[in-house]
Amino acid sequence: MITLTVNNVRHTLDIDPSTPLLYVLRNQLQLNGAKYGCGLGQCGACTVLLDNQPVFSCLIPAVACGERPVRTVEGLGSAAHPGPLQRAFINQQAAQCGYCIAGMIMRAQSLLERVKTPSDEQIREHLQPNLCRCGTHMRIVAAIREVAGAGGLEAAVGAGAHS
């Protein structure tokens, strides 16, 4: 049995210790935002936050998370009440097929939590590990820029309430 804290909820799970975190999130916890892309840490579709740092959830065994909390795209908001970055992705229509988007959002979230108003250059460099086969990169950058332009995540929450 292992314990895992995901989006502020503590779970006790009976799994093989080497099961990748991604499988546990999707199969045991039904959190299907993070996607299986390459399984090699080369595409970023499985990106989640571990202790507020972006990691490839396909490459970390669930048991290795230990006491470090996990956050997934489901933790940022819901369809009815999207978080500020999720709302910006919707505003900019940043998804084409959408497969990479949960990973893109989580990696961008970690940047915006660390740097309130990142430059375009910082955004591009930070998102480099995440790939998008549809080519919506410009809209993804625009969505992150929207939050940065509104003064960061906290300011964007306020702005979103009025829109």
Partner 1 sequence: MKGKIVFVAIVLAAAAGLSQAWERSIDPVAATAPAAADAAQIERGAHLAALGDCIVCHTAKGGKPFAGGLPLVTPFGTIYSTNITPDADTGIGDWSLAAFTRAMRNGVSRDGHHLYPAFPYPHFTHMTDADIAAVYAFIMSRDPVRARAPANRLVFPLNFRPLVAGWNLLYLQRGPEPGAPVNAEAEGTTDPTQTVEWQRGRYLVDGVGHCGACHTPLGQLGAEKRDQMFAGGVIDGWDAPPLTTLLHAPTPWTRAQLVAYLRTGFASQHGAAAGPMLPVTQSLGDAQQADVEAMATYLMSLQQNAPGNAGAGASASAGTSADAGAHNQAVNLTQLASPAALANGATLFNAACASCHSVAAPMSISGDRPSLAQGTAVNADSPRNTVRMMLDGIGWQHSEAAHFMPPFAQTFSDAQIADLANYTRARFSKHGPWPELNAAAVAKIRKEGVEP
In angstroms, the CA 76 to CA 109 distance is: 9
Q: Measuring CA to CA, which residue among 108, 110, 132 is closest to residue 35?
A: 132
Helix, strand or coil, per DSSP, at residue 74? helix
Q: Which of 77, 98, 129, 149 binds partner 1 (CB under 8 A)?
A: 129
Residues 55-94, one symbol each (x = binds partner 1 by CB under 8 A, - = not), give xx-xxxx-xx-x----------------------------
In angstroms, the CA 41 to CA 22 distance is: 12
18-36 residues labelled b (16+ CB within 10 A) or e (exposed): ebbbbbbbbebbebebbbe
Binding of partner 1 by 41 (CB under 8 A)? yes
Q: Which stretch binds partner 1 (CB under 8 A): 14-22, 84-92, 94-102, 141-149?
A: 14-22
Of 39 and 77, the one with the shorter C-beta distance to partner 1 is: 39
Binding site for partner 1 (CB under 8 A): 17-20, 39-42, 50-51, 53-56, 58-61, 63-64, 66, 121, 128-129
